[in-house]
Every structure is written in C-alpha cells, then in structure tokens.
Amino acid sequence: MRYSNRHLRVLTLAWFVFLLAGISARAQAPRYDLILKGGHVLDPANQVDAEMDVAISGGKIAAIEKDIPAADAGKVVDVRGLTVTPGLVDIHVHVSNGGAPLDWFEPSAVAHTPPFGVPADLFLTWGVTTAVDAGSSGADTFLGLKQSVIDHSKVRVMAFLNIVADGMNGGLEQVVDQMNVERCAATIQQYQPYIVGVKTAHYWTEKPWDEFHPPWAAVDRAVECGRRAHVPVMVDFWPRPPERSYDELILSKLRPGDIHTHVFAQQFPILLENGKLNPILLEARQRGVIFDVGHGGGSFWFRNAVPAVEQGFLPDSISTDAHLESIIGRAVTMINVMSKFLAMGVPLEEVVRRSTVNPAREINRPDLGTLSVGAPADIAVLDVLHGNFSYMDDGFARMNGNVELLDRMTIVGGRIVYDPSGLSMVEWRKAPKQYFTPPKHGADPPSRADKYPRQ
C-alpha cells in the first residue's frame, strides 16, 4: 500500500500528539514514589537524629531532607510524632521447621518435635526487614530452608549454616561426624549471598566427656569452616571448665568478627563475685569478638544484663532468637527486646544502632540497616510509648520500666508491607469510587482505596 499526502499528514499529526502526550506524562510523573513526612529520623549509620522527610523512589532511598515538597511524591504519609529508622535487622531467629526443640540434647528429639520456627513474614510486624536464621539448617537441609522460606518471604531472610550437616532439628547435633568442614564451606560458597556465616549450638552440655565427643569439636570445626568460607561464626555455647571455658572461647577460639550470641544467658561469668564486670569481656571486644543478645526462651537474665549495661557494657547487636516457644511463652519480639534496653537506660539511638547498622555490618551487609541514599528502602516507623510498663526475662523475673516500642509501619524495598493503623491510607469515607464498587467477578475491579504497592 502507498500513502497519500493526506495519509502522511494525519500520521505526522498523530505522531506529534503521541510525542506530546509522552512528554506531558513524564512531566507529570512524580519525582518520588513515596515521602514519609515530618518524622524523627534516627539513622545511626549516617549520624542522622533529626526531624526529616524521607523520599523513596524505585525501591530505594532517594533523599533524606527537611521539607521535601509533598507535590514531588505519588504518595505522602504523615509520620509526625513517630520515629523513622532503618528496617530492623535481627540476626538470630529461627524460621519454618528450624529451631531448637525443647529436648534438643536428645538424639530422639525429632520423634516429638513440632515445627519450632516462626513464619518469616511475622517479623515484619516488629519492624524487622532482615531476619537471619541462626543455624536451623545445615549443609544437608539448607536447600529446604531456601525453597520453603527464603524464596517466598517478603522479609529478607538469610542464614547462618549449622556446622551440623543435618541442622538443628533432626536429633543429630551431638554427632561429630556430622560436622563436616568441607561440606559446610562448599555449601556456603554455593548459596551466597543467602548464607552469611556458620552457627554452632547445643553441643555436649551435660554428659561426661568421651572419645567421641572432644570438648571443642563443634566450635573448632565451625571456626575452621568460617575461615575457609571467609564468613563469621555465631556461637551458642555452654562453658564446662576447665576443659572448655568461656575465657578460652572468647579470648582464643573466636576470631575477630565472630559472634558470641546469648551473651546475657545464665551460664556466663558476666560479673565477678564482687559484682564488677568481668574484664575478659572488654579484652575479647578489644580482639574484635562481637557480643549479641539472642534473647530467646532461655538466654536472657536481667541479673547479668542490667549490671553489665550499668557498667557500660552494651551488646554489639540486639537479636531475638525468635522461635515459637520464645515468642509465645516469653513474648520475645525485636521491639520487646529493644524496649528492655531502653528501660535499662540505654539511649534510643544506641538501641537502634545495635538493631540496624551494627548487625548489618556483622553479616557483611553494610547496604542494609541504613537510610543512606541509594540503599534499599527498608524502613521501620516506630512509636516510642511512655507510661508504666514491665518486662520479663528467661528466669521468670520482672523489671519495671517506663518505655515501650510499637511498630506502626514497615516498608521493604519501597513497599508498605505492614500498616495496621492505616497511616498510609485514606479515611474510608473519602476513598475514591472504586472502593465503594462491589466487584463483579472475583476481585476485578479490586475494591481498594488506592493502588500503592503493598504486597
């Protein structure tokens, strides 16, 4: 077919109209997807502690400035009176079928162990946007964790790999042959970036030593795997001096960057008999050993934590050791554990530092736990409540205090994934027509008040 002049004129006109429409659409497209307006931004990684607006674009932090114009965003959320922090990073959790059964020391544990891990996306309700499973799985079982949890979660899930190939939940934690350094290191290399370190736990805590159970087998092999794979080791430990002492663990066995979790558990000599802080803690810290909370259902005692904090010894990172028993029986959540440290008098900035940038660096992910421009837009919007509150520890003792954190909103990669107070939503009477329109078939059209991505 040949075009006549008239055809060409019409086509040219159509082309110009199309071009102009494109230009004006671009001109009208907002500069940012979302602005959180008027909150108190607390970002220890960047020394920000001030009232600021946070702008998000393409899933990343685009700007942190005072008074970003509301007209620049597709959506604006008023967060005045609330504290805006990087999404919390909890480096000791158990998800899905992982986790420590109550009878974890017994080879027969698997026979009567219900799933002990927490559904991963539950962490989003605590402001946690990165959760690290601490050794629920090993070389033989990691793929199951990846396929059943990591690949499907909204929360970012990573893992410390158990030095025991079978992991934590199959009753093989006492079998030294399971602690295969080569397979551990090869699995970590195969599944980067999901595996961030090695975990050892629960090894030979009661029974007499024998030829099949050398005192340091689990720690030595975990550290050797960490050395080969160039990742840190997280240690859950039970001192049994003189053969296996806490001093030797933190002053000799652990390398700089290795992590002692459960630091305020009942079994550690945090205080000397005169009540003073045990100087080995500072000596180990000087060496670069990291101390992590790992509260859990049996690893946090006020009698250790409060005097240590009063004497200036703060853990490097705050973590929950969340599993089904600790979140129900002990009500342990990330914001609950953080609240306990606030109640001990630790400033909010230091609590947030130990729940964001510090743990992110411990797992070699400095891009997380920060609101740096260009970083993934992982954000928690916290309410710092003041009143009469109290808190429990794992020895079933209470501490009174006057502050508690509540998570009001959680954002992962720029998506609002948790907003129970509807801070980002329109008051229902003012919702657009589509909200009031019953769908004809299925969910089409969806009866929603806006289109901001929330899934």
Window contacting Zn ion (CB under 5 A); options: 106-114, 316-324, 326-334, 436-444 = 316-324
Which CB, 134 or 351, lies closer to Zn ion?
134
Residue among 354, 350, 367 at smallest CA distance from 295: 354
Which CB, 134 or 231, lies closer to Zn ion?
134
Q: What Cα–Cα distance (Å) separates residue 424 from each residue in 67, 78, 210?
A: 18, 8, 61
Which CB, 294 or 413, lies closer to Zn ion?
294
Residue 267 beta carbon to Zn ion: minimum distance, rounded to whole angstroms: 15
Residue of 90, 121, 316, 321 that binds Zn ion (CB under 5 A): 321
Sites for Zn ion among residues 371-430 (CB under 5 A): none
Residue 409 beta carbon to Zn ion: minimum distance, rounded to whole angstroms: 28
Residue among 298, 309, 378, 365 at smallest CA distance from 341: 309
Residue 236 beta carbon to Zn ion: minimum distance, rounded to whole angstroms: 6
Which CB, 53 or 321, lies closer to Zn ion?
321
Task: Please answer whether residues 408 and 424 qualify as being in contact, where contact means their C-beta atoms are separated by less than 8 angstroms.
Answer: no
Quote the CA–CA distance of 249 and 196 in Å, as a whole number: 21
Residue 209 beta carbon to Zn ion: minimum distance, rounded to whole angstroms: 24
Sites for Zn ion among residues 84-143 (CB under 5 A): 134
Residue 134 beta carbon to Zn ion: minimum distance, rounded to whole angstroms: 5
Window contacting Zn ion (CB under 5 A); options: 63-71, 83-91, 282-290, 313-321 = 313-321
Which CB, 327 or 411, lies closer to Zn ion?
327
Residue 27: count other Cβ atoms within 10 Å of its Cβ.
Answer: 7
Residue 92 beta carbon to Zn ion: minimum distance, rounded to whole angstroms: 6
Which CB, 280 or 322, lies closer to Zn ion?
322
Sites for Zn ion among residues 181-220 (CB under 5 A): none
Q: Which helix (H) or strand (E) holds 157?
A: strand 156-162
- Tokens standing for residue 93: 């959790």
Residue among 76, 127, 122 at smallest CA distance from 369: 127
Q: How many residues form the binding site for Zn ion (CB under 5 A)?
A: 2
Quote the CA–CA distance of 219 and 162 in Å, as a whole number: 11
Helix/strand/coil for 125:
helix
DSSP H helices, 164-301, are 181-190, 217-229, 246-248, 279-287
Q: Which positions touch Zn ion (CB under 5 A)?
A: 134, 321
